[in-house]
């Protein structure tokens, strides 16, 4: 039986000009069962390969591809910067040889708590989900959530905020442990495919564990099929149907 996760990993590798090599071992008790590796288009080993074939776990290959994405993303950010014009040399003078510029370190994505100064950028991200909201309300909501100990988390790449996830803990009468929730999750379109969404979900799950939650749930609009596929890939299952009603005269 084919593993859908490995098929997705193979497609991800192809998108980067690489080939996913799978172990031919079919016995679970054998050492190389389930191992994978990466080669270039010509079969040259790139990652997770040794003299006997694939030797890496799917998780290690996924992390390697994510690292390639981060480096590519950093390069694209650097490419936006304007190049300074060179002044023409004076007649009769030879231009001095300049030392090669030191390569800038590739920015690595990181997760931190949202700040009031992020409000304008968060408005842009929230609108990508189809929710209209203004900066003043976002700032007010951030202040309220901080007092509740539920400050949203953002993903930052260099100086750019490229993702947002909300976190919430609630106690219900019918469950033995608190329930964690991700009220909102969004990654900027330009940053999708770089592992940012997985990073935000991992951070939200850890937040819920730290708060003693026994499970975590997320709601997603019916029309967001790609988001549903992402959640399933992250191990989430559809368990219920969500109903909503707007309240008139709410304070």
Question: What CATH class is the domain 110-233?
Answer: alpha beta
More confident residue, 145 or 52: 145
The pLDDT score that the predictor gives to residue 81 is 46
Asked if pLDDT for residue 146 goes beyond 60, the answer is yes
Residues near 107 by Cβ (< 8 Å), separated by ≥ 6? 70, 73, 74, 77, 157, 158
CA-closest candidate to residue 196, choices 233, 165, 221: 165
Average pLDDT, the chain: 84
Could you report the per-residue pLDDT of 68-99, keeping only the tens digit for each?
655 555 555 454 444 444 455 555 555 555 66
Radius of gyration of the chain (CA): 23
pTM as predicted: 0.58
From 1-15, 157-171, 174-188, 210-224, the region with the lowest mean pLDDT: 1-15
Average pLDDT over residues 215-224: 85
The pLDDT score that the predictor gives to residue 6 is 83
Compute how many other C-beta atoms are within 10 angstroms of the C-beta atom of residue 154. Answer: 22
User: Domain ranges in the chain?
Assistant: 4-78, 110-233
Question: Please, which contacts does 11-15 make with residues 24 or more away whose CB atoms are closer than 8 Å?
Answer: 12/62, 12/65, 13/38, 13/61, 13/65
């Amino acid at each position: 039986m084919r593993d859908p996760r490995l098929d997705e990993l193979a497609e991800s590798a192809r998108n980067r000009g690489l080939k996913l090599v799978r172990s031919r071992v079919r016995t679970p008790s054998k050492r190389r069962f389930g191992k994978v590796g990466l080669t270039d288009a010509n079969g040259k080993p790139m990652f997770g390969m040794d003299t006997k074939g694939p030797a890496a776990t799917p998780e290690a290959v996924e992390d390697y591809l994510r690292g390639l994405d981060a480096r590519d993303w950093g390069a694209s950010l650097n490419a936006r910067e304007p190049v300074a014009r060179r002044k023409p040399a004076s007649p009769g003078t030879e231009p001095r040889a300049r030392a090669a510029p030191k390569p800038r370190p590739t920015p690595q994505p990181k997760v931190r708590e949202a700040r009031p100064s992020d409000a304008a950028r968060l408005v842009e991200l929230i609108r990508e989900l189809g929710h209209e909201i203004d900066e003043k309300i976002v700032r007010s909501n951030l202040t309220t959530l901080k007092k509740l100990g539920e400050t949203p988390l953002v993903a930052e790449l260099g100086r750019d905020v490229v993702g947002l996830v909300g976190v919430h803990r609630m106690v219900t009468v019918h469950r033995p442990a608190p329930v964690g929730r991700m009220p909102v999750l969004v990654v900027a379109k330009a940053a999708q495919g770089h592992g940012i969404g997985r990073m935000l979900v991992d951070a939200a799950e850890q937040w819920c564990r730290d708060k003693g939650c026994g499970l975590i749930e997320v709601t997603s609009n019916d029309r967001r099929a790609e988001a549903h596929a992402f959640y399933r890939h992250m191990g989430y299952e559809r368990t219920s149907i969500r109903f909503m009603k707007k309240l008139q005269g709410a304070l």
